[in-house]
Amino acid sequence: MTTALSVNLNKVALVRNTRHLGLPSVTRAAQLCLAAGAHGITVHPRPDARHIRPQDVHDLAALLRDWPEREYNIEGNPFHNLMDFVRQVRPHQVTFVPDSQDQFTSDHGWRFPADADRLRPLVAECHDLGVRVSLFMDPEPAQMAAARAVGADRVELYTEAYARAWGTPEQEAVLARYVAAGQAAREAGLDLNAGHDLNLDNLARFAHAVPDLREVSIGHALIGDALERGYAATVQAYLACLR
């Protein structure tokens, strides 16, 4: 099974928003990444629109209709503005992330049983809309069955701990936590995604160690690499890590 690469375009929007010229173009970046072989596009619109704006969500939905084999993934907190976008554009996948409105970046996963009752009806609504649901989760095997119990189709393992441990004596021990969490997810009937701070140095080891990894979502490092390499060469380099 080939692990899919979904390119997160938030950082393209962040640069664009420093001026009022519409450059760099988020939709053009998506086109170039898809043409280079990316399997999908991810955005994480936050309530303050600090990077992705509502119009971007709709423009990318329209663009993806011309790429029927590729997927659109929208991330965010379902208790903020995310569900409005899900109802309006019906992406292939929605990733629920428990971040606060002023949070600098995502830094933890959902917790069960604490979050179960409030997530369950929103997961069901997404399914009624034909949208697959992934939950952003810490690599804790004991939490995977609970994620499945609220109706999730997938979990996205939060990989910051792995990225932080990369190149240190703790690297393999930390990676083993992700392997165990992935196994627990599969045993619970969940498919497996991963993301956060994955890059050209640490991606291949992770993707080859964690079995049945369906998708990685990568933005910050990939867009940074694209400043030097260009979108096409960068996407192809990340795809090579996943082979």
Q: Which residues are catalytic?
A: 44, 75, 196
In contact, 11 and 220? CB cutoff 8 Å: yes
CATH of the domain at 87: 3.20.20.70
Which domain range does residue 208 map to?
4-242
What's the pLDDT tens digit per position in 35-73?
999 999 999 999 999 999 999 999 999 999 999 999 999
Nearest of 74, 76, 146 to residue 111 by alpha carbon: 146
What is the per-residue pLDDT for 221? 98
The count of domains in the chain is 1
Question: pTM of the full predicted structure?
Answer: 0.95
pLDDT one-digit tens code per residue, 61-117: 999 999 999 999 999 999 998 999 999 999 999 999 997 656 556 567 899 999 999
pLDDT score recorded for residue 217: 98
Instruction: Judge contact between 42 and 217, C-beta under 8 A.
Output: yes
Residue 102's pLDDT is 63
Percent of the chain with pLDDT over 70: 97
Q: Tell me the average pLDDT of the chain.
A: 96
What local confidence, expressed as pLDDT, does residue 1 receive? 76
Type of residue found at 204: A
H/E element, 137: strand 132-137
Residue 172: predicted pLDDT: 98
Helix, strand, coil distribution of the chain in percent, nearest 5:
45, 15, 40
Q: How far is CA 65 from the centre of its chain?
A: 20
Alpha carbons 83 and 17: distance in angstroms, whole number: 24
* Beta-bridge partners for 4: 215
Question: φ, ψ for residue 118 (rounded to 5)?
Answer: -80, -25
Q: Give residue for tokens 């390499």.
A: 229
Amino acid at 208: H
Does residue 185 have a pLDDT over 70?
yes
- The token pair that represents 197 in the structure block: 């701070």
Question: Exposed, middle or buried: residue 105 (CB in 10 Å: 0-12, 13-18, 19+)?
Answer: exposed
**38 Cα distance to chain centroid:** 13
Asked if 171 and 165 count as a contact pair (C-beta separation under 8 A), the reply is yes
Distance CA 100, CA 39 (A): 29
